[in-house]
Structure 1
Amino acid sequence: MYTIAIHGGSGTISRSEITPEQEKEYRQGLENALDAGYAVLARGGSALDAVEQAVRSLEDFEKFNAGRGSVFSANGRHEMDASIMCGQTLKAGAVAGVTNIRNPITLARTVMERSENVFLLSPGAEEFAREQGLAVEPDDYFYTDYRFQQLKEAQEANRTQLDHSRSNTGKGTVGAVALDEKGNLAAATSTGGLTNKKYGRVGDTPVIGGGTYANNQTCAVSCTGYGEFFIRAVVAYDISCLMEYKGLSLQEACDWVVQHKLKDMGGEGGLIAVDRSGNVALPFNSEGMYRGWRNAAGEGEVAIFA
C-alpha cells in the first residue's frame, strides 16, 4: 500500500497564536505538498520522486522555513541544508550551507545520483549545482519582511533561535517520507536552520542517520526540532535500528526515541516515519507539529496542533 507523510516543522504551536487565516494558509501549504507527492505514487512513481516533489512544494511555500521561506543567518544570508535517502539502495545525498539554490532538496538528490559523494558543503555545493544546471535565484527571491524582523529581534536579544518560539508563527524544517507500490522507501528533509545562526552552524537535517534515514528493511524517517539533540541521539537511524535489531514496531520505536530518549536529553521536536507495510507514525514531544499523511486507500489527515 503506497503511503506518504509530510511535515512542516514542530515546536511551540498553539491555537491562540495562529489566526484562522494563518491556519488556513498552513493547512493549504501542507495539502499542496501532500497532493504533489501523492500524485507521484498514485501513477506508479517512485518513493524517491514522491518525497522530492513533496519537499519541493514545501520549499516553494514561503511560510515554512526551507527554500524560499528560509530564515536569515547572522550574516544576512539564507544558508540552507537538505538531504535525501533511497531505502532500496541506501544511497544518499546531502548539502549544507547553500545559498541562492531554489530547491536544495533537488541539489541533494543530484549529489546522490550524479556524483560519487554523499555530502557537499557550500560553496562547492553551489558550484556543483550550477554545473548541473539547477535553478538558482537572487537574494530577493528568499527575502520576506517577516523573516527579516525575526533576524532583527534575534540580533537585538543576542541569541539564535529555532523558528518555533512563541514570537514566531512560521515553523522550521520540512520533510517527507514515502512507500511506493513496489515496496521501496525514501526520506527527504530540508531547512533554513536557525534564525541568526553563526559560524556555519549545521543541524541534523543534512546528517544521514540524524535527521534523515531510509531502509527498505525497516522504515523511512524525517525529523524536525532542535538539531543538536537529534544529531547526538542519531534519531532517524536509531528508529530503524530498534525495528531491525529489537523487533519493535514503527510506533513503538518512534515513541521510545521521541518521548523517552530524546526527551530525557532535553531535546524537543518530532518526526514522521513510514514502514515497509505502509504504517505511519508522527510523534512529537512539542506543543504541535505541522503534519499530514495519506495512503492508497485515501485515508489520512492534515493536522497542526497536539
Structure 2
Amino acid sequence: MKKIIYLLTLVFTFASCKKETKSTTTEMIDKQQSPKFAIVIHGGAGTILKENMSSETEQEYKEKLEEAIRVGHDILKNGGSSLDAVTKSISVLENSPLFNAGKGAVFTNSGTNEHDASIMDGNTLNAGASAGTTTVKNPINLARSVMDKSPHVMLSGKGAEDFAKKQRLEIVDPSYFYTQPRYESLQRIKESEKTELDHDNKTAFYDPSIRDSKFGTVGCVALDQSGNLAAGTSTGGMTNKRWGRIGDSPIIGAGTYANNNTCAVSSTGWGEYFIRAVVAHDISALMEYKGLSLEAAAKEVIQKKLPKLGGNGGIIAVDKNGNMVMEFNTAGMFRATMNSLGEVFVGMYKE
C-alpha cells in the first residue's frame, strides 16, 4: 500500500512540475512574442529656454505634445498602421496654434501662410508631399492623399489645392490660419531688416533677432506591430520667406524618410542645410551601408556633418527594432516619445 501511495505521489508531483514548466514556458513565449511598437513626435527646434517660457505656456506645450502622441499611440496599440498613427498625430499638432504648421503657421513676406508637408511608407518606400498650399486645413492629409491616390510624389500650389478638393479634404479660407503672435513676429522681422534682400544680400536671414524663424516644424515617426515604419513632417516654413521658398519638410530624403530596413526620420531645422545634407536619408544610409546604430548615425549627422555646413536643428527617429532617438544641436526641441509599454516622455529643453 505504501508503495502504491509513493508511486501516486511521484506521478502527481511530475504532473504538477510539467504543468508549471509548461505554464512558465508559455509565459516566456508570450513575452517574446508581445508586439513591439513605438512613436516619437517633435514640434520644432531652436532657442527653447526655460527662462524664456512662462509656466503656463510650458504646460500648454507639454499637454498638446502628450495629446498628440497619445492619439498615435492608441492607433498603434490597437493594431493600426504606422502611417495612420503618423497622420493623426501630426493633424493634432497642425490644429494647434502653438506650432508652426497648419493653424500656427508663420507668415510669408507678403502676409500669407504657405504650408508644406510630406509622408513616407517604410514598407513600400512610397511617399507623398505637398508644397505652397494656402487653403488645405491639414497639409499632412494632403501629403497622404498624394501618396495613396496619385501617381506622383509631390504637388504644389494651386494644383495641389485642386487635387485636395477632388479628394474631398477639408478646405478653409486662408484667414483660418491667421494668429496674432505669428503676425506680430512678421512685423518685428520686417522692422529689423535694414536692406532689401536680393541674390547678393542675405542680411535679413542672418539677423540674430530672427535666427529661430527657420526652425518651426512638426513631425512624427512610428513603428507599428506589423514591423512597418512611417515618417511625416509638416510646416509653415520660414517667417518672412519670399519668392515661393520651400524648405526641407516636403523633400523626401531631407525632411522625411522611412525604410523598414533601417529607420524612420523627421527633421526640423534650417531647411536649406537639411536639403543640402539630405539629412533624413543620410541617417538611414549610415545604418544600412556602415552598420551604425540609429543613435550613432543620428549623432554623426546632427552633431558633426550638419554643423560643418552651418546648419542647426534636429531630428526624431525610430528604427526597425523600436529604438527611439531625439537628436538636436540647438538649445531645445519640443518632443515626446511613447513605447509599447505605454511609457511616455515629454521634453522641451536640452536636459
The TM tier, using the shorter chain, reads over 0.9
- Counterpart of 2:247 in structure 1 is 203
In 2, Cα distance between equivalents of 1:136 and 1:78: 14
Equivalences for residues 64-143 of structure 1 within 5 A: 64-143=99-178
Q: Which amino acid aligns with 2:260?
A: N
- Counterpart of 1:189 in structure 2 is 233
Give the 3-state SS of the residue equivalent to 2:327 in structure 1: coil
Equivalences for residues 1-306 of structure 1 within 5 A: 1-158=36-193, 159-160=204-205, 165=210, 172-306=216-350
Q: Which amino acid aligns with 1:267?
A: G
2:121–2:259 Cα contact (<8 Å) kept:
yes
Cα deviation, residue 166, structure 1:
7.6
For the structure 1 residues 257 and 167, does the alpha-carbon distance in structure 2 shift closer, same or farther, using more than 3 Å as the test? closer
Task: Normalising by structure 1, report the TM-score.
Answer: 0.96
In 2, Cα distance between equivalents of 1:284 and 1:84: 21
In 2, Cα distance between equivalents of 1:301 and 1:188: 20
Cα deviation, residue 300, structure 1:
3.2
For the structure 1 residues 206 and 167, does the alpha-carbon distance in structure 2 shift closer, same or farther, using more than 3 Å as the test? closer
In 2, Cα distance between equivalents of 1:25 and 1:10: 17
Give the 3-state SS of the residue equivalent to 2:328 in structure 1: coil
Q: Give structure 2 stretches of 5+ with no counterpart.
A: 1-35, 194-203
In 1, Cα distance between equivalents of 2:319 and 2:153: 24
Cα deviation, residue 232, structure 1:
0.4
Cα deviation, residue 133, structure 1:
0.7
Instruction: Please give the root-mean-square deviation of Cα atoms over the aligned residues, in Å.
Output: 1.6
1:161–1:194 Cα contact (<8 Å) kept:
no
Give the 3-state SS of the residue equivalent to 2:66 in structure 1: helix
In 1, Cα distance between equivalents of 2:152 and 2:134: 20
Larger radius of gyration: 2
Q: Which amino acid aligns with 2:216?
A: G
Give the 3-state SS of the residue equivalent to 1:156 in structure 2: helix
For the structure 1 residues 167 and 241, does the alpha-carbon distance in structure 2 shift closer, same or farther, using more than 3 Å as the test? closer
In 1, Cα distance between equivalents of 2:155 and 2:335: 28
Count how many residue pairs are aligned between Structure 1 and Structure 2: 304
Give the 3-state SS of the residue equivalent to 1:123 in structure 2: helix
Cα deviation, residue 123, structure 1:
1.1
For the structure 1 residues 297 and 234, does the alpha-carbon distance in structure 2 shift closer, same or farther, using more than 3 Å as the test? same
In 2, Cα distance between equivalents of 1:54 and 1:171: 19
Report sequence identity in percent: 53
Cα deviation, residue 92, structure 1:
0.1
Q: Which amino acid aligns with 1:57?
A: V
For the structure 1 residues 146 and 273, does the alpha-carbon distance in structure 2 shift closer, same or farther, using more than 3 Å as the test? same
For the structure 1 residues 239 and 14, does the alpha-carbon distance in structure 2 shift closer, same or farther, using more than 3 Å as the test? same
Task: Normalising by structure 2, report the TM-score.
Answer: 0.84
Which structure carries more helix by proportion? 2
Cα deviation, residue 301, structure 1:
0.5
Give the 3-state SS of the residue equivalent to 1:177 in structure 2: strand
In 2, Cα distance between equivalents of 1:100 and 1:123: 9
For the structure 1 residues 62 and 263, does the alpha-carbon distance in structure 2 shift closer, same or farther, using more than 3 Å as the test? same
Q: Which amino acid aligns with 1:213?
A: Y
For the structure 1 residues 113 and 73, does the alpha-carbon distance in structure 2 shift closer, same or farther, using more than 3 Å as the test? same
Give the 3-state SS of the residue equivalent to 1:304 in structure 2: strand
